Structure 1
Amino acid sequence: MGEARHPNRILRGMTNDQLETMPSDWQRALAVVAHPDDLEYGCAAAVAAWTDAGKEVAYVLATRGEAGIDGLAPATCGPLREQEQRASAAVVGVDTVEFLDHKDGVIEYGIALRRDIAAAIRRHRPELVITLNHRDTWGNTFWNTPDHRAVGRATLDAAADAGNRWIFPELTEQGLEPWNGVRWVAVAGSTSPTHAVDAGPGFERSVRSLLEHQAYIKGLTDEDPEAYVRTFLEANVQRSADRFGGRPAVAFEVFSR
């Protein structure tokens, strides 16, 4: 998920408390992550279920993942991973994919990143915002990357920034009116999930979606791509099943606003 240097993460520290069903009384969602493939490793099965239900989901990526494949120079890698991300999103019914062009591997949490994400939220006007684990670890000693931490934290902050006309007033001058309609921010890959989406209906499309990242996967493992993808995603959705009525699930930590 994210960059080839990442370990195969195992989320730990989960409790036996049952997960609630994700809110469904919304129409527009915006997913904001650091790299191509972050959403496919994290929550594509949920996205497929949402678009099947007629909901609108857009993707915003902070980088083009240009530093993610050791054997490819960034100038070659970035356009290739952008192409793979657009194809991957289409598999789960997402047509809108935007890139903020922050530099892969060295994204900085700060005003510039918050402003860019707040602008995206104002453009798309979502009720639900989705991001990836913003905490230091994936559980115990599985260290998270700076890019994920920066983008996740900035997204949580930008959900509020987007609704305050006195924060980043230049966005209003550019025609992006404040949007205070974000009702939830849902964090995928959290070690403290609170809610879940049934992964069954969208699972096969989530497999096909991740498989669109062929160049990245080939740079990550010598294993057969489909076997690798299916094994990873099956383990991921089964991890929360005992807290969701025995059903394979995509889990989220949901912050209400």
Structure 2
Amino acid sequence: MGMSALETLQWQDWSSVLIVVAHPDDPEYGLSAAVKEWTDAGVEVSYLLLTHGEAGIQGLDPKETGSLRAAEQRAACDVVGVRNLTILNHPDSMLVYNLVLRKDIAREIRIRKPNAVVVSNFDVEAYGGLNQADHRVAGLAAIDATRDAANPWAQPELLQEDLQPWGAEVIIIAGHPEPTHTMDLAKDSVDAGVASLQAHKEYLAALPDPPKPEEFIPAFLEVEGGYAAAFRVFGR
């Protein structure tokens, strides 16, 4: 399906978006350019990271890596106007789908009250290969937690925390090979998306074949006549 056949994402009336991912840097592969569009328009965008990414740098102790990557993620958030960053302590590379994880995500949904919950592609096959295990768990847990957050009979402990049910309008999957919707991006937003990935300096430097953000992100987002982000969108 070409970009011209996609529906235009109607986000202008949103007040809040929650992005749920497994690791620091996960929002920075094109999605953060859309985040900049939203925050520039006054939408409150919050990030929920399920791990600190502490297993992500070979040769560096996980305790050091976790704090380093958290700091890099905060810098990346600053670039695109994200004020609310929550990082949980689930184990990097060993993220497990369970009700505890779902409850942690549902809690954040009830706190942030988003119009849209955004996740990354959680298919087994993704990004030209086999998707990383944490990505698969994070996406699946997040879509189930979105329903938990809206259901007063699910995750009853959250009611004891005085967190009332909240139903997001849509669930959005970024990086999906069969998108349904598109949104235009200004060049400034694309530039901010590049800078947000560049903020993960130490992490990228530790990769054996690091991507060049200034090259692949604009190429990934480029469409005829400008730039756009594409998403697969589901009603709750």
Is the pair's TM-score, using the shorter chain for normalization, greater than 0.5? yes
The structure whose residues are more often strand, as a share, is 2
Structure 2: state its 5+ residue gaps.
none
**Take 2:2 and 2:30, find their aligned partners in 1: how far apart are those partners?**
21
Q: Which amino acid aligns with 1:237?
A: L
Q: CA deviation at 1:218?
A: 0.2
Give the corresponding residue for 1:200: 186
TM-score of the aligned structures, taking structure 1 as reference length: 0.86
Query: 8 Å contact 1:46–1:199 — kept in the other structure?
Result: yes
Q: Residue 178 of structure 2 aligns to a residue in which SS? A: coil
Deviates more, 1:171-180 or 1:53-62: 171-180
Which of 92, 99, 102 is the aligned partner of 2:80?
92
Deviations 1:185-208 (A, max 9, x none): 111111111112223340111111
Deviations 1:148-194 (A, max 9, x none): 111101111111100111111011001111112x0011111111111
Which residues of 2 match residues 177-256 of structure 1 at below 5 A? Answer: 177-180=164-167, 182-201=168-187, 202-221=189-208, 228-238=212-222, 241=223, 246-256=225-235
**Take 2:160 and 2:134, find their aligned partners in 1: how far apart are those partners?**
29
Q: CA deviation at 1:234?
A: 1.9
TM-score of the aligned structures, taking structure 2 as reference length: 0.94
Q: Which amino acid aligns with 2:233?
A: V
Deviations 1:20-49 (A, max 9, x none): 221222111000000000001140100001
**Take 1:247 and 1:222, find their aligned partners in 2: how far apart are those partners?**
28
Which residues of 2 match residues 1-257 of structure 1 at below 5 A? Answer: 15-16=1-2, 18-24=5-11, 25-138=13-126, 142-180=129-167, 182-201=168-187, 202-221=189-208, 228-238=212-222, 241=223, 246-257=225-236
Query: 8 Å contact 2:103–2:155 — kept in the other structure?
Result: yes
**Take 1:189 and 1:73, find their aligned partners in 2: how far apart are those partners?**
30
Aligned-pair Cα RMSD in Å: 1.6
Q: Residue 162 of structure 1 aligns to a residue in which SS? A: helix
Cα gap change, 1:221/1:233 in structure 2, threshold over 3 Å: closer, same or farther? farther
Q: CA deviation at 1:71?
A: 2.5
Query: 8 Å contact 1:71–1:219 — kept in the other structure?
Result: no
**Take 1:123 and 1:84, find their aligned partners in 2: how far apart are those partners?**
24
Deviations 1:45-89 (A, max 9, x none): 000011111111000000001011112110100000000001100
Percent of paired sites with the same residue: 44
**Take 2:37 and 2:51, find their aligned partners in 1: how far apart are those partners?**
26
**Take 2:37 and 2:184, find their aligned partners in 1: how far apart are those partners?**
8
Query: 8 Å contact 1:35–1:64 — kept in the other structure?
Result: yes
Q: Residue 54 of structure 1 aligns to a residue in which SS? A: coil
Q: Residue 46 of structure 2 aligns to a residue in which SS? A: strand
Q: Which amino acid aligns with 1:251?
A: A
**Take 1:162 and 1:94, find their aligned partners in 2: how far apart are those partners?**
22
Deviates more, 1:194-203 or 1:31-40: 194-203
